[in-house]
Amino acid sequence: MEIVKLGRTGLKVSRLCLGTMNFGPHTTEADSFTIMDRALDQGINFFDTANVYGWKAGEGVTEQIIGRWLAQGDARRDRIVLATKVYGRMGEGPNDSGLSAYHIRKACEDSLKRLKTDRIDLYQMHHVDMETPWEEIWQAMEQLVLEGKVLYVGSSNFAAWHIAQAQSTSAKRNFMGLVSEQSLYNLKERTIELEVIPACRAHGIGLIPWSPLGGGMLAGALQKASEGRRARDNVRNEVEKHRTRLEAYEAFCQSLGENPADVAMAWLLHNRDVTSPIIGPRTVDQLDGALHAMKIRLSKENLESLDKIWPGPGGEAPQAYAW
């Protein structure tokens, strides 16, 4: 497993990040344990979760599963970089969501209990909070860092100007600020190439793409649209919307002798601005498939072919749309 630095920090993480959103709703606890064991054995040391995963308000189902896995011992906790998130609704009260200092502190304490750990290595803001001033957010995060409950702070779903705001305010406080940004990024969804990626590069922020397979669209959707979750009307409609590109993409992958999902992941791994794409396996087989993607080497011509099938926004702003 290749190891890279997370942004401008000295923290070293695996080139793939294990996403755990399926643990609980779609993957049993026993299978979740097996997936985490397998990931760790294969050198994946970067585990990502969120307090809302499990989708039962206030319960933190997925965090609890990870906590019970960590509690088995064998130095599991010290062998991984553990990331979770704050923002989503965790109760019915007016302060049970968002990024107020009140909610950040309570959410952190609750996550620590569920994860059965004394620290969160990377505490990520799951979404920007337009109603809370950055001074308040950073004051709360600084206190958690001082107490040793949080080591690094990251963001998720931020626009470039949110990143710039966050870093400008943290610099005034002599605080490190953001070290990572978790964004929607894949062959099909490339909007962040305009401004978010350049902002991350300028500020030394590691990029952690989520949904690398485009919600399954890049995982052989033409063949799978008639079965399982992909057979739902909304998914089938999405397949029809992109059928021409999907046909070209899947034919291209077939010419390489590779699965579409693995090619999509390999494309992200060829991007030097990407730190660790998040893989969200429901099964061990899906985990093994993602590991195979690391072995795929795409030539310059391959990458150009993929750009023709799935064109991006035209480069970075403002050159992408102005002289």
Active site residues: 53
For 151, list phi and psi in degrees, rounded to 5. Answer: -100, -45
Q: Which two tokens stand for residue 120?
A: 């969160």
Q: Residue 14: beta bridge partners?
A: 3
**Ramachandran quadrant class, 75 (left: phi over 0; alpha: psi -120 to 50; beta: rest):** left
Q: Could you count the other beta carbons within 10 Å of the beta carbon of residue 154? A: 24
Instruction: Give the CA-trace dihedral at 126, 132, 133, 139, to 10 degrees.
Output: -70
For the chain, the residue count is: 323
* Sole residue written with tokens 């009307």: 233
Nearest to residue 218, comparing CAs of 299, 316, 290?
A: 290
Euclidean distance between CA atoms 285 and 104, whole angstroms: 36
Nearest to residue 86, comparing CAs of 120, 35, 133?
A: 120
Strands in 206-210's sheet, in edge-to-edge order, are 206-210, 178-184, 150-156, 120-125, 81-86, 46-48, 17-19, 278-279
